[in-house]
Amino acid sequence: MNAHRPRPVEGKILGPGVKLMLVLWAAASVVILFRFFLGLGATTAMNDGYPWGLWIAFDVVVGTGLASGGYAMALLVFVFNKGRYHPLVRPALLTSLLGYSIAGIAVVFDVGRWWNLWRVPVMPWEWNGTSVLLEVALCIMAYVAVLALEISPAVLERWREEGKTARAELARAWLPRIEKALPLIVALGILLPTMHQSSIGALLLVAGTKLHGLWHTGLLPLLFLLTAFGMGYAVIYFESIFSSVAFGRAMETRLLARLGVVVAAVLLAFVVVRFGGILAAGRMGLVFTSGHLTFFFLLETALFLLAAWLFLQQHTHATPATQLQAALLALGGGALYRIDTFLTAYSPGNGWSYFPSVGEIVVTLGLVATETVLYVTIVKKFPILAGVTVGATRPEPAGLEQGAT
């Protein structure tokens, strides 16, 4: 029983991995200094034809997709009442909170007049009701707050153990209140991502003349919602297996195996909806005649189908290694679809082109590094992960071929 309770992992924070991350973080900080003092043109490859680059397409659009684990698991556990997946919820919420926060930071780097951002949430009389981006921005801001509330019991539970300190009192006072409000918090934690993950796709509805016909469709909101689920569930595999190997806790192979059908269903639904839209629009011809975009379209489709097929196979779920492969294919498919929609298949015409600058790539790596360090630090300090054996001598990391449960 106790093994199923989330526990802090403990242990030293500053491992070699964390040191590498700090180097990346420092490099990114230098680029960001240049960005703020010299402008976006000096540090990025973005231009008037491609006003959105890597920071939006990857850090925000792919990043929040990867951070949809908390959303996907909350729906499964709290709405469809699959209590057995409960151990996967807290780590998923943590990666979601980190992913969305990082996306928020990327936005501050990316927008030209960042000092005006505060106006967005506090000046409702200036809100433009037709702006999809406004909805995305407000929704994401609200969702970060909701995620913080959803994960707060992990922090409060640790504080509660502290005896007579002020924050222990605070924890004892607030834990029951949050517990009581949980249904509403959870409901918000599902509603808000449903809104903004679909709206991230809707952002490009207006770019009908610029987005290629295989990607531009009225179904963009639904397709982005489906990729949020696909990436959200797949990332649970990645994170569960990663934290088992990294922290030497038991593998959750059997639990993850039962999730396979759900992931496969979502991935297949995506492919069906997408082809349905292309058929209905009479654009099947474009599948074969779009040059390099034909390649990317087919690659996306292949990744989705292969991942779905693997998730349905029993042998995939025999070992964490094969589960991880399937999950990585699904993540790759979802990420590629999102990058392609925002960059590869986006063409403003007039000979514009875009490939991210070294500075943009360094900043993105720095943000990913920051997220990883924060995750590792937090699971060591707070009760996030289940199956952690406290006090026992630390076992060697489990091998990936080992099919533990």
Q: Is 400 in the site for another protein (CB under 8 A)?
A: no
Q: 12 to 71, contacts with another protein by CB under 8 A?
A: 36-42, 46-49, 51-52
Nearer to another protein among residue 76 and residue 307 (C-beta): 76
**Closest CB 110 distance from another protein, rounded Å:** 8
**Closest CB 251 distance from another protein, rounded Å:** 19
Nearer to another protein among residue 72 and residue 376 (C-beta): 72
Residue from 11, 208, 276, 399 in contact with another protein (CB under 8 A): 208
Residue from 89, 93, 195, 367 in contact with another protein (CB under 8 A): 195
Q: Contact at 8 Å (CB) between 176 and 136?
A: no
Return d(Cα 206, Cα 199) in angstroms, integer.
12
Q: Is 194 in the site for another protein (CB under 8 A)?
A: yes
Q: 328 to 387, contacts with another protein by CB under 8 A?
A: 348-350
Q: Is 128 in the site for another protein (CB under 8 A)?
A: yes
Return d(Cα 342, Cα 50) in angstroms, integer.
10
Tokens of 50: 């491609």
Nearer to another protein among residue 18 and residue 190 (C-beta): 190
**Closest CB 182 distance from another protein, rounded Å:** 6
Nearer to another protein among residue 9 and residue 236 (C-beta): 236
Residue from 78, 143, 229, 237 in contact with another protein (CB under 8 A): 78
Residues that bind another protein (CB under 8 A): 36-42, 46-49, 51-52, 78-81, 83-84, 86, 110-114, 116-117, 119-120, 123, 126-128, 130-135, 137, 182-184, 186-188, 190-191, 194-195, 198-199, 202-210, 218, 221, 348-350
